[in-house]
Structure 1
Amino acid sequence: MTHIKDPGMKTRQRRAKMLTGISLLAIIPFLILCTFVYPVNDDFTFGLRHIQKNVFQVSSDIYLYWSGRYFATLISALNPFAVSDNPIPLFRIYSAVAIVLTTIVMTLSPAICCRRQLTHCQSAGLGGVFLLTYLALMPSVSQAFYWFSSCTAFTIPSLLYIMLVALTAADSKASYFIACTLALIVPGGNEVTAVITVGTLGYIAFTYHDRKYWLLLTLSAAALLLVVLAPGNASRMANQHIWANAELWALTFSIGQTVSWIFLWGPVLLLATTIYIPLFGRKLASSPIYDVSFSRYLVWFFITIILAHIPPTYGISSAIVDRTANCLLIFVIIGYFHGVNILLRKHRATADRLASLLSGKWIFGASLFCFLFAAPFSINSPVATAVTDIITGKATDYKRIQQQRVDIVRQTPSAEAVKLPPLGITSKSLFVKELESEPDTEFTSAFSRIYKSRVRVYVEDREARFEDNLTALKNYAKKGRVRR
């Protein structure tokens, strides 16, 4: 019999606490950046739609004439322009809420679905690994946290999706009722999350053959149809340029982009696995729920990813954009580690030897170091970028220029055309979109109207410019020497 080296419960607990602590520290710069947030583009148009209007009437109009995202439209009624006389501070509060909710959901959800295998401390540590992996790979921080319109349509539905997946493992009637409610709500956020939700619940239902899972699948599929068949989608697509052979193009491009994620996200996921296996994976794999076909799982995993690309690719002839890629990343992280557990279950002897090897003090320390400084704390990671934007003053400059624009709109009484100051080299963490380069367009008009002004504004230089973090820090140091 092979002797398996076990670092012991206390060591695992200590390491799990360390991972939880590191993940919470990584969130701090994102919370600081909330103080620099300003509304952009869709925040203005949705604010105008909701000001002094019935939320259900607005939701109905959007469903009929623009989009089937019934849940996202409903919660967009919380737009600060519609609910507050002093909206900008509320935008910042909402950003902080989005970050806190992301942290809570990711760190506490494992306690729901892994409660039989892991202690609360270990579950929080597992959530910390998920959170650090997410922060390392996020396609867009600004669209996940600092853009209200994106938070309502993408971030919140993604967090509810995580809760739904966790609740499928719960036994209580209350948990199942909440899961059923989420199965109806989550697909109404956006089309990508809708496909992912149906794909996930479909896999669970067909794999475990429990009546309660079939009901969840039925509810989510009905919600998906409600989104896809909305009259507003047809109206919206009528104004889009659709390529010839759109179906073939969408499928081919979706497959190609799916492959690209393997190379983009795969290395970091592999590094995270070296921490995951000794602390959590070996113990989780003891659960019989992972005694399933790996090939079936793999087919489901990639088909779901490919199908998730279809709505944006077919609907607007475009690659999946950053805010939808944020949603996809959450699914990939959860699905990837589920697959790891299946493999660990199937190859127990190999898994035990690997876990024993990776549990060693020096090897675990080296694995943790490589994961942290090649992923969440690498020089150009979202975490490092957030810190750099704060240190170098880019976030401060972004806030100053955005406030200048607001002041110009409020203080210019006439309907003349006024050029707004450019952002220049700006904060990558905060920047979402720029206004148009001509007055009287959708967002420039909405920008003036939301601040009750008649001035016609435009931005001459629409191209956002960014520096890599190392260059930004070098330039900041040079400026500091010049000032001295």
Structure 2
Amino acid sequence: MTNSTWLKSADNRVKLLIFAFTILLLPFVALSFFTFPTTDDYCHTLTVNDMGYWAYQKHYWLTWSGRYIGTLISATQPLTYGSYFGYKVAPAILLLIYVHAFITFAKALSANKLPTWQTALLAFLMLFVFIAEMPSVAGYIYWYTGYYYTVADISTLYLLAYFFRHYPAITAQNIIVLSLGLILLIGMNEYTLVWLVILCGSLFFFKSIIDKKLHFKFLVLSLVALVFGVLSVTAPGNAARAESGLYPTPLKYNLLFSLKSSFTWEFHNLSKMAPALCVLTLVLIPIACILYTSRKPGEFGFFFVHPAFSLLVFAIALYLSYFPSYWSIAEPPNLRGQCVINFWTLIGWTFNVFVIIFWLLEKERIRPILSLGVLSWVVAFYFFSLYLSNFNYRSAWSDLLTGRAARYNKEMIARTELVLSTKEQQVTVPKLKNMPYTILNVTPDWDPAWASVEVNNGCAEWYFKKKFFYK
């Protein structure tokens, strides 16, 4: 009875959520300080050192990628400044910014109408589900070269929050800010590009159809997204990478294979996330009802769209997230890319739940459900059990508490000192004995710390200018 009374206090709920955020992030922040540059980090460092910062951008634009902002990020490798500590502090900073981004997004989505504890709960659960469903925590949070995926998602939350806050009366100044945000985000990675181009185009098209007039401000956004999307996709580097010997499969550019495989992988990935998303929906429903019943005229206009339109855009954007990868290299998106797709799946799912509830309430198909009641304990039990059983959370605590991550860090320091102190061009390096899954992409095929996905051991060998042998 005492516990029930304690939980009724809004202040106590806020304290509980602060504690929950702390427990959620503690192992991941702590593990940040045991990270080390890996694989392609060395390649990017070497290229920047050899060519210079801006020549590096031109080189990758012509030979590897159209990510005109992504290459700006990957070129800021701390190792170019001789810093190993930068790789340890960067993940911790990104994680803390992620919390702020989700809270900012939750505030904007709810127009600040929810009590503090409920806003924090929404942000917490979204972050919780996202981390639980990451196919590669190492590649998304701890690999510096992959930050043009991570930074894109964080920035997307801020951009969407800005859009939601100003939606009732978007000015020319807002369009300029949103356009600049689109230009930056579209240049970070292909998956963010696909979603933003589709969303901007759909916003203009359906808004104009519904209101029976052309919305020129949204037309500007859709044209900006389309122009810079085309600019990125048609970059010489994308064609060069697709045509390289790295992907010699005859299934490249096979339309039937790409269509079928994209659908199969979309269904597989969505079904994997479905349990957590469905339970999250139980929490979203009363929040949506509270927002609907407390709204003022003109508020939450972005939710007043027919669910058929919203779900159609969501399904198309999700499908097209997979298609370019199968079409160009006949493979599913890399694990970091799938993290971005999962991020958009979470955002799209959440948005559509609100749209559907608003539509049902507007049509008087359901009565407002303002509380989960006893069901809230079922939801709490599910997320608690998910926390205990989920691989990402279990491995994070295991890597930290067993000392595996700390020992790995010591191994890498010793390895680096050995290579730097060896004058010969060939070095025998001890094999890794400690491989923390949370901060390292573990693979049995090559050394996961110094190997390159493209050329075995290439990046670290090129950087240190020595040939490695493992014992």
TM-score bracket, shorter-length normalisation: 0.7 to 0.9
Which residue matches 1:148? 144
* 1:284 correspondence with 2:291: yes
1:116 offset after TM fit, Å? 5.1
Letter in 2 for 1:431: L
For residues 17-166 of structure 1, what are the structure 2 equivalents within 5 Å?
18-19=16-17, 21-51=19-49, 53-82=51-80, 84-85=81-82, 87-115=83-111, 117-119=113-115, 121-151=117-147, 153-166=148-161
Distance in structure 2 (CA, Å) of the matches to 1:439 and 1:170: 45
1:95 offset after TM fit, Å? 1.6
* 1:294 correspondence with 2:307: yes
Which residue matches 1:391? 401
Out of 395, 398, 408, the residue aligned to residue 418 of structure 2 is: 408
Out of 215, 220, 241, the residue aligned to residue 220 of structure 2 is: 215
* 1:264 correspondence with 2:272: yes
The 3-state SS of whatever aligns with 2:75 is helix
1:405-444 CA distance string (max 9 Å, x none): 212211211012x342223462110112669579999463
Relative contact order higher in (CA < 8 Å, ≥ 6 apart): 2
1:234 offset after TM fit, Å? 1.3
Structure 2 residue runs without a partner (length 5+): 209-214, 294-299
Which residue matches 2:200? 201
Change beyond 3 A, Cα 1:116–1:100: closer
Cα pair 2:132 2:390 within 8 Å, conserved: no
Distance in structure 2 (CA, Å) of the matches to 1:333 and 1:367: 17
Change beyond 3 A, Cα 1:219–1:420: same
Deviates more, 1:166-175 or 1:225-234: 166-175
The 3-state SS of whatever aligns with 1:457 is strand
The 3-state SS of whatever aligns with 1:155 is helix
Out of 420, 424, 427, the residue aligned to residue 436 of structure 2 is: 427
Letter in 1 for 2:417: D
Cα pair 1:254 1:309 within 8 Å, conserved: yes
1:296-324 CA distance string (max 9 Å, x none): 22221111111011222222211122101
Which residue matches 1:373? 385
1:53 offset after TM fit, Å? 3.9
Change beyond 3 A, Cα 1:212–1:283: farther
Distance in structure 1 (CA, Å) of the matches to 2:71 and 2:317: 25
Cα pair 1:198 1:217 within 8 Å, conserved: yes
Letter in 2 for 1:203: S
Cα pair 2:29 2:92 within 8 Å, conserved: yes
Which residue matches 1:168? 163
* 1:347 correspondence with 2:360: yes
The 3-state SS of whatever aligns with 2:250 is coil
The 3-state SS of whatever aligns with 2:164 is coil
Which residue matches 2:296? none
Distance in structure 1 (CA, Å) of the matches to 2:395 and 2:367: 38
Q: TM-score, normalised by structure 1?
A: 0.84
Cα pair 1:36 1:396 within 8 Å, conserved: yes
1:26-72 CA distance string (max 9 Å, x none): 01110000111011111000001111643222111211121111101
Distance in structure 1 (CA, Å) of the matches to 2:216 and 2:13: 39
Q: CA-atom RMSD, angstroms?
A: 2.7
Q: TM-score, normalised by structure 2?
A: 0.86
How many pairs does the alignment contain? 441
1:146 offset after TM fit, Å? 0.6
* 1:254 correspondence with 2:262: yes
Change beyond 3 A, Cα 1:11–1:262: farther
Change beyond 3 A, Cα 1:419–1:54: closer
1:186 offset after TM fit, Å? 0.7
1:203 offset after TM fit, Å? 2.8
Which residue matches 2:297? none
Cα pair 1:439 1:457 within 8 Å, conserved: no
Cα pair 1:192 1:311 within 8 Å, conserved: no
For residues 221-236 of structure 1, what are the structure 2 equivalents within 5 Å?
221-236=226-241
Distance in structure 2 (CA, Å) of the matches to 1:393 and 1:247: 48
Structure 1 residue runs without a partner (length 5+): 1-6, 461-484
Distance in structure 2 (CA, Å) of the matches to 1:27 and 1:123: 18
Distance in structure 1 (CA, Å) of the matches to 2:469 and 2:195: 39
Cα pair 1:12 1:122 within 8 Å, conserved: no
